Chains A and B, each alone.
Chain A
Amino acid sequence: MLRGRVPGEAPVPARGEVIVGDALVSSLGQVLQVETLALMLAGIAIGFVVGILPGLGGSVTLALMLPFTFNMEPVQAFAFLLGMWTVTATTGDITSVLFGVPGEATAAAAVLDGYPMTRRGEPGRALGAVLFSSALGAIFGALVLAASIPIIRPLVLSIGSPEFLMLTVLGLTFVVSLSGRNVVKGFIMALLGLLVALVGIDPQAGIPRYTFGQLYLWDGIDIVPLVVGLFGGAELLQLMLSKSSIASQKAYRPGEFVGIMDGIRDTLRHWWLVIRCSAIGAGVGMIPGMGGSVAQFIAYGHAQQTSKKPELFGKGSIEGVLAAGANNNAKDGGALIPTIAFGIPGSVGTAVLLGAFLITGLQPGPEMLTTNLDVTFSMVWVTVLSNLVAVGLSLLLIRPLIKLTFISGHWLVPFLLVLLTLGAYTASNSYADVVVMLVAAFVGVAAIHWEWPRVPFLLAVVLGGLAERYLFLSYSLHQWAWLTEPAVLVLGGFALFVAVGSPVRMRRRARRRQAELAAQAQQPTTAPTSTKPATDEEARA
């Protein structure tokens, strides 16, 4: 829109255009500064190793790296963290393809067709396809993130405290409903997390809550030692108990890496599939609580349904590999959207990243789309650049990096012990944080052992403080009238549907399954049938 234009003078762009354009350029300049680039490359290097090593999750490492961002500028901090996090998804596919062992939980779909391709002598083609499609998926996710910012800004600015409160509640219900079979346990863990979030000085009345007379608890329980203990503690204990190398399978022989260019050509040939699966990843990633494990199988299923040769899926179909690779990285860009715009994490990793927001003094929400828009765009650039670098490095360094997967667990234990300690201690330079970390580790191990989901607990701790604040803000501004706001009713209804619908659907499936089992039991059979696959190979076949 032109305003006050003088003949011969350049048109004055609208205010919004100047801000977005300037932020896009200035953010690139900030990312390309030497110090920021160095930190991004350091993060990429860490993420590279973490993604390769099965058992060390990207989200766990993100939590461990979080304390080191205390002295960093926001752009630098996110260059370091995002550079590490976005790369783990890419390199996690490498072990999926070569060993049939997902380097990340979100790389499981890549095993279904990537590993069979390796077994039949096409590891290079599979790796080329999965790596290149991952890079394209990452770029797509970053573009979705960048493109959604101008669209999402007016939406975010029109959202008030009541809507933020309901989004928080909705985020929690999504996570809880995705506690798999343990829905009630998921709800209980989420409520426990909310209780933990309430520890500290009450912001309304200024009185200490659940502090047990300890000054340390007046500030509340820090998220960092909680996350470090909850996830890192269990990983450490697993290594100590298993006493074996992280990966013990040797399905490849050195030298069998020809065909990488064939895989890249396959990616370009199936460009439309790559875009569709990237869109699924970005779209599902945007939904708080859905996570990459959901997105990868939706994309995989879609690829199979639309393939001309669906019978090849699970036996080494290149389309299956492409679907898994493209989706895996696109979801990270999508998951960043609700995190940045609403402060609602789209996944476990973004829940940890929220901690980075707090550490760097940033507030997710409208500020990230206005005054801190350059930081937001820097995340887009980092996502794109780090994946391009990671793919390039992967192609160059595949052979020596694979050897890391055979390191015996006992070599990693001392390193992890130190990392856990420093990660917890640096939260507030207090031994009390180390104690919190140990308690959280105990909780994490018990939760795994007895199948109580940890993710609802973590997200509730992150979202609990926000929820309370928005609740009282909503009441202060609107009394109880905010309950009748249309957006609140819609979001509340949706949250109720998600929270109630999931167990109802599972119960229906259980009854249907029982009926099928009963019918099978009544039919005479000549061969034993199993209702449950005994091994992962049977499940994938």
Chain B
Amino acid sequence: MSTTTPARSAIRPGDVTITLLLLAVFVYGWVEASAWPYRAALVPRIVTAIGTGLCLLKIGQLVVSSVRGRDDIDAVEDVSQGEGPQIIDEDEGDEQSLEYIFAIAGPRAWVVALGWIAAFFVGLRLVGLFWVTPIVTVLYLRITGKTSLLAAVAYAAIAEGVLYLAFRELLHVPYPRGIF
């Protein structure tokens, strides 16, 4: 699987959106903290003030990069990517493949994936874990996994059995129950 990511434009809408969103969060945090006593407000105001400043700095960087093209910021990125062993945190090593998959997945794939996740959690709230697990498992394996009905049912049965034995009987872990 290729690990190259799609080419980036000088300004990425996602960066702008996230930065503006975070700026709004920090500004809101500052305003909210204004009404608190001194001790309660001290750290929040420090954090939100610095956060606001850095968001403005980031916006400035994005504006500069859109004016200059791929000179400053992306040149630094190129350096980071191109020279020998990379000093990256252990999280970013996985993220290169994740980023690639997220970038190339089409809108339909996203809608389908998010739809299944939504269906699971809505079902969870309605009928609880022990009902939604086998239902969603069978449906997902049949529709998306294109597995046989027998395999899907067997998998669901084993999963349900493991859930019941491990979490209810052995570990006594409370599990989510549904409204109905």
Interface residues of B in 1-44 (CB under 8 A from A): 1-4, 12, 14-15, 18-19, 22, 25-26, 29, 32-33, 36-37, 39-40, 43-44
> What separation, in Å, do the CA atoms of A468 and B47 have in the docked complex?
11
Q: Does A415 contact B (CB under 8 A)?
A: yes
Q: Does B68 contact A (CB under 8 A)?
A: no
Least distance between B137 CB and chain A CB atoms (Å): 4
Residue on A nearest B16 in the bound complex, by CB:
A450
| CB <8 Å contact, B105 and A57 | no
Q: Does A438 contact B (CB under 8 A)?
A: yes
Q: Does A421 contact B (CB under 8 A)?
A: yes
| CB <8 Å contact, B36 and A450 | no
A-B pairs under 8 A by CB, number: 250
Candidate in B19, B58, B94 with the most chain A CB atoms within 10 angstroms: B94
Residues of B contacting A415 with CB < 8 Å? 159
| CB <8 Å contact, A410 and B87 | no
| CB <8 Å contact, B40 and A202 | yes
Residues of B contacting A294 with CB < 8 Å? 87-89
Beyond A301-B85, A446-B14, A472-B39, whether A455 also contacts B91 by CB under 8 A is yes
> What separation, in Å, do the CA atoms of A506 and B172 have in the docked complex?
52
Residues of A contacting B171 with CB < 8 Å? 68, 71
> What separation, in Å, do the CA atoms of A414 and B140 have in the docked complex?
8
Residue on A nearest B33 in the bound complex, by CB:
A209
| CB <8 Å contact, A102 and B93 | yes
> What separation, in Å, do the CA atoms of A446 and B19 have in the docked complex?
12
Beyond A241-B102, A534-B4, whether A181 also contacts B176 by CB under 8 A is no
| CB <8 Å contact, A192 and B93 | no
Candidate in A178, A234, A240, A438 with the most chain B CB atoms within 10 angstroms: A240
Residues of A contacting B51 with CB < 8 Å? 188, 191-192, 195
Beyond A194-B47, A238-B101, A421-B176, whether A300 also contacts B85 by CB under 8 A is yes
B-binding residues in A (CB < 8 A): 55, 57, 59, 67-68, 70-71, 102, 104-106, 108-109, 175, 178-181, 184-185, 187-188, 191-192, 194-195, 198, 202, 204-205, 207, 209-210, 231, 234-238, 240-243, 248, 289, 291-294, 297, 300-301, 347-348, 408, 410-411, 413-415, 417-418, 421-422, 425-426, 429, 431, 434, 438, 445-446, 448-455, 467-468, 471-472, 506-507, 509-510, 513-514, 531-536
A-binding residues in B (CB < 8 A): 1-4, 12, 14-15, 18-19, 22, 25-26, 29, 32-33, 36-37, 39-40, 43-44, 47-48, 50-51, 54-55, 57-58, 61, 72, 75-83, 85-95, 97-99, 101-103, 105, 109-110, 112-113, 116-117, 120-121, 124-125, 129, 133, 136-137, 140-141, 144-145, 147, 155-156, 159, 163, 167, 171-176
Listed by A's residue number, 11 A-B pairs whose Cβ atoms lie within 8 Å are A55-B97, A102-B93, A108-B93, A191-B51, A198-B44, A289-B89, A297-B87, A414-B141, A421-B129, A450-B12, A506-B76
Query: Beyond the given A180-B89, A210-B32, A510-B76, could you list 18 further A-B residue pairs with CB under 8 A, ordered by the A residue number?
Result: A67-B173, A68-B173, A188-B19, A204-B39, A209-B33, A240-B113, A240-B144, A418-B129, A421-B120, A422-B175, A429-B174, A431-B176, A448-B98, A450-B14, A450-B15, A451-B95, A451-B99, A471-B43
